[in-house]
Every structure is written in C-alpha cells, then in structure tokens.
Amino acid sequence: MFYILKNPATAKSYQKMIQTCKYFFIKNPIIVSADFPHPYSFDFDKWYIGKTRFDFSQLICKFWITENFNFTSILPKIYKFDAKNVTLMIKVISLNDLSMFTKTAEDITFIEVTVKNPDDSVVPFEKIFDAFVKATEFKFYSYSTLTNFTSKTFNELLKIPHFSKLQLFYLKNIPDTFDIETFYVYMKKNKTTKFYLRFDRSISARYKIRLEEIIDEIHGTKEFYYKTPLISFDR
C-alpha cells in the first residue's frame, strides 16, 4: 500500500485514494490539475486564486498536470506530467527539465524560450524538436532572430521520423541561414504539414529575391499536389 501511495499509476487512481482517506494526501500531497494555470492567475510576478494572493514557494504539495500546461515557473513543483498541449513562455530551460514534457506533448508552443545544455550552450533547434516524439503541431515564436537555426537545421529535421508526420509547423523570425532550397524541394513533395514561415527582418536582399521567386511560382501553380506554405517577410 505504501508503494502504491508513493507511486500512483494514474491521476485517476490517486484521486480515488485521497477521496477515500485524507491520510493519503497528507503522506503524498499532490494536486491533480487538468489545465494549469487554471484556476490561478498571474500578474506582475504575483500569483492569485481569485483575488487572494498566493505564494507558490510556500506550497508543500506538487502538481500532476493531465491535459494542458502553459507556464514554466512551477517546474520544480511538478510531480508528473501527462499533458498533450504544452506552451512554454519566456524562459531559459535546461534540456533535462524539458524532458518532462516530451513523452506526452502533441501540440507544442515555444514563446521566447531558450533551451540550454548542462555546459550552458544553446541546444540546436533540431535536437529540441527531436525530443517531442508525439508532436503533431510545433510552433516556435521568437522576438529576435532564431539563433539556434543554422544552415544544417532543415536537413537535420528531415532525418527525424516524426517530422514528416507533423500537421503544422510554425517558425517566427527565421534567419537567412535557413536552407530555403532544401525546404523548397521538400515543400513540393509535402502533403501532410502546413508550414507557416515568418522570416526575420535581417535577411539579405538576395534571400528576399529568392523568397519572392518561390512565392511567385506558388501563385502561378494551377493545380497543387502539395500543402501550400505561408511564407512571410518584410519587403
């Protein structure tokens, strides 16, 4: 019984135990939450439940997230993670901490997030994506140029089996190191993934010309045998 208490197989079984006897919660305090941060709100570095101030650092229990998660500041308080919809925002996160999300997440959104290795170096984009083995939608928003995207990144993505199964792939502020020619070849064969590519303002004039040529060809196509991408840049 003690082992089962400390290692509940499912969130549902744990909830049944604590509903049966408060002792179980006292011995292993876990809050099962389908949708975090609901019912909490966040304002200027302060957490609230309704209008009451709440200090997470004083919380002795941990969280078991079962469906949706869209914050990062409570990572040390997470006991277990089963969510399929994950949004990580404005955070430097270690590759080790990121691993808690990768086994179940399907719809993934990064908003101004930097992932780092133990030696403090930035993790390459393809390595981040590779970790999310169940990904169906992958969105990566950056307020500045994507620094972990190199000339080899797209080729490396093509080697990852679940990349070709994506339904949606969104990138914002892509640099001109992005291998547009390799993407162009792949794009004309792609029948699965909807690509939304927003290029950074810093891309060269020559790169913009090539993007315009690709866009013109797409506009001139009468019958499509591939998923048409959305390509955006300043001009």
Rounded Cα distance between 107 and 144, Å, is 23
Instruction: Over range 220-228, report the average pLDDT.
Output: 89
145 pLDDT band, cuts 50/70/90, is confident
Residue pair 40/47 in contact by the 8 Å Cβ criterion = yes
Instruction: Over range 149-164, report the average pLDDT.
Output: 95
Instruction: Over range 203-218, report the average pLDDT.
Output: 95
pLDDT value of residue 44: 44
pLDDT value of residue 82: 82
Query: Token digits for 79?
Result: 């006991």
Judge whether residue 81 has pLDDT over 80: no
Q: In the chain, what are the domain boundaries? A: 1-68, 84-232
* Highest-scoring range by mean pLDDT, 76-85, 97-106, 189-198, 216-225: 189-198
Compute the mean pLDDT over every residue in the chain, rounded to the nearest whole number. Answer: 83
Reported as type and span, the H/E element at residue 139 is strand 137-141
Q: Which residue has the higher pLDDT, 184 or 145?
A: 184
Judge whether residue 42 has pLDDT over 90: no
Rounded Cα distance between 107 and 87, Å, is 8
pLDDT value of residue 48: 52
Give the chain's length.
235
Per residue in 192-202, pLDDT (tens digit) is 999 999 999 99
Instruction: Over range 38-52, report the average pLDDT.
Output: 53
Judge whether residue 36 has pLDDT over 50: yes
Cα of first residue to Cα of last residue in the chain, in angstroms, is 66
191: helix, strand or coil: coil
pLDDT value of residue 143: 85
Instruction: Over range 180-190, report the average pLDDT.
Output: 95
Judge whether residue 138 has pLDDT over 70: yes
pLDDT value of residue 29: 67
